[in-house]
A and B are shown apart, each in its own frame.
Chain A
Amino acid sequence: MSGEHPAVRLVDGYARGDTDLAADDVWALEAHLEACRICRDRLSASVTAQTPAVTALVGTVWSGLEPQLAGTAPAPPRRRRSAWLSGWLTPVMVPWLAMVVTVTLLALLLDLAGTGSGAVPPVLLLAPVLPVLGVAASWSRGLDPAYELTAAAPRAGLYLVLRRTASVLAVVVPALLPVGWATGVMAAQWLLPSLALTSATLALGGVVGVTRAAVALVAVWAGAVVAPTLAASRPAPALQTGGLPVWALVLALGTAVVLARRSAYSVLDAHR
């Protein structure tokens, strides 16, 4: 053999099916052929030149196959986009996406219709609920039929949880930004409670299941923030700028718990 490629003699001998080739030569040659395009071409040329019997045989097989191949329908075009998307959202989340857009638009409409100048912008009350519902939808037994397969996969666990949460936020936050801007609410005022509740859902979800955690936190939000706000027609203390450090603390705590208990997301218990 010369340097990088096998000798012509060896390739020709192989093409003829010579029996006097040493077994280790043949082995090395085949290992090389598997990886080397150039030598496969050389082998092909050598077969054509040296063994008309083989060429004739291949020709017969081809002419036998061609009518069948002509009758085979070409493979249908592949849909690449949905495969990419399902890496980020569970395939059942499309209805949820529609819901987010609808709710956001409703919040904007309600606000523009003017529910009174002293009233609290609806975006402030709704913003934290949307990502929580989204996280629940992305990790729930009821909404994801393949939850058990997902939980058993190597990719399950914190990585997939964060990936899906990130994609939920990537939809919710840009949808809410223009609405918040149009209603004149400071971004931190709704963004911080949103992120805090999202991380709290995941943290609690590792213990009791993400869906249950989401339901509980939405209930707490409705009882402790939305109801007093609507009753008093002015923002509850938690919604005012003084409440922001508390939300930041909740966010930090939630994130810390999620990271500390990351193995909880790779078993079935989180899918409740």
Chain B
Amino acid sequence: MTTSTTITTTRKDHHLMSAVSAADIAPTPYAWEIRATGLKVGVGRKRMAVDGLDLTLGTGVHGLLGPNGAGKTTLIRALATVLRPAGGTLELLGESVGGRGGHRALRRRIGYLPQEFGYYKRFTAREFIEYMAWLKEVPKADIPGAVQRAVERVGLADRADERMKALSGGMVRRVGIAQAIVNDPAILLLDEPTVGLDPAQRLRFRELLQELGTDTCVVVSTHLVEDVAAACTDVVLFAEGRLVFQGTPDELAAAGGPEHVGDSPLERGYSALLQGPGRGRGTW
């Protein structure tokens, strides 16, 4: 028995020195995964949903917090390059977004789960994720493996071959998360991903977020303060198209005092910051 134990440990040590490709150790040519300066994104003809935003985000899990209608979805869509900035600059992975060009190479490194996650009911979960992997230009030979990994990471391996119309709301949401991570993105954008997940699934999802956040820039939009407290390394508070606060969850909690509305320190910090000068209070 002693012999086999020694062998196992030696093997493990060896495994750490396994071959790496040049791409794995290449230095990144950018300082921040996401960098916005004076970013403006319009909705409709006149309204600017994102109005002069300065933001830098690196690796980690960033909770994008704000009241409904603050422009979270518009910002995430701009980060997903499906909305063009109306002004300012936006750099993703060192590449400037906007103007002409479809950002094909950039999009291969972005994962995106929209707020309204539409899917094909007749497809099985696996077929849907395979289709998304094809749309994301994952090399054909890598698709089955990548899909299986994504399905396992969201805990759907046993239901992957069922049609999506037979899956519950929480499972569909997890398929949505799986399709977002199938291309191993460097930037992962999740718009309200916890809607429809039950408490146990939310816990599991937070673990997954923390795991992804070690080497990915994850942006999670949410209006649930407790999601941020549990899973995020960084909070971005966003209201009326502008950045109100950026810092750690602890700093957010420190901003609130006992006189502010809320059940937890984070909620009090949230309401304190949103009540800052020039903002109406007591309204919906």
A53 touches B82 (CB 8 A): no
A158 to B102, CA, bound (A): 9
Across the interface, which residues of B come within 8 angstroms of A149, CB to CB?
A: 112, 114, 117-118, 132, 135, 179
B102 touches A148 (CB 8 A): no
B7 touches A17 (CB 8 A): yes
Task: State the main secondary structure of chain A at its contact with B.
Answer: helix
A87 to B15, CA, bound (A): 39
Q: Is A79 an interface residue (CB 8 A)?
A: yes
User: Binary interface profile of A, 112-156, with partner B (CB < 8 Å = 1, else 0)?
Assistant: 000000000000000000000000000000001111111111111
Cβ of B40 to closest chain A Cβ, rounded Å = 16
The interface-forming segment of A24-32, A175-183, A249-257 is A24-32
A248 to B269, CA, bound (A): 65
A91 touches B82 (CB 8 A): no
Which residue of A19, A79, A146, A263 is within 8 Å of B118 (Cβ)?
A: A146
Which residue of B82, B120, B130 is within 8 Å of A267 (Cβ)?
A: B82
Closest to B10 in A: A17
Cβ of A98 to closest chain B Cβ, rounded Å = 15
Q: Is B22 an interface residue (CB 8 A)?
A: no
A92 and B120 contact, Cβ closer than 8 Å, known pairs A30-B18, A157-B102: yes
Q: Is A23 an interface residue (CB 8 A)?
A: yes
Cβ of A172 to closest chain B Cβ, rounded Å = 23
Cβ of B41 to closest chain A Cβ, rounded Å = 11
A70 to B159, CA, bound (A): 19
A266 to B116, CA, bound (A): 18
A-B CB pair tally, cutoff 8 Å: 114
Which residue of A54, A82, A145 is within 8 Å of B127 (Cβ)?
A: A82
B interface residues, how many (CB within 8 angstroms) = 45
A263 to B83, CA, bound (A): 12
Select the residue from A79, A82, A92, A148 with max chain B CB neighbours within 10 A. A148
In residues 80-125 of chain B, which contact A (Cβ within 8 Å)? 80-84, 100-105, 107-108, 110, 112, 114, 116-120, 122-123
A23 touches B17 (CB 8 A): yes
Cβ of B177 to closest chain A Cβ, rounded Å = 13
Which residue of B7, B105, B117, B130 is within 8 Å of A54 (Cβ)?
A: B7
A225 to B102, CA, bound (A): 37
Which residue of A31, A92, A152, A158 is within 8 Å of B19 (Cβ)?
A: A31
Q: Can you sample 27 A-B contacts with CB below 8 Å?
A: A17-B10, A17-B11, A27-B14, A30-B14, A30-B17, A30-B18, A30-B19, A31-B19, A51-B3, A91-B122, A92-B120, A144-B118, A148-B82, A148-B116, A149-B118, A149-B132, A149-B179, A150-B135, A152-B110, A153-B135, A153-B137, A155-B135, A155-B137, A263-B102, A265-B102, A266-B82, A266-B103
Closest 3 CB pairs of A and B: A145-B118, A31-B19, A153-B135
Residues on A facing B (Cβ under 8 Å): 17, 19, 23, 26-27, 30-31, 34, 51, 53-54, 57, 75-76, 79, 82-83, 86-87, 91-92, 144-158, 160, 262-263, 265-268
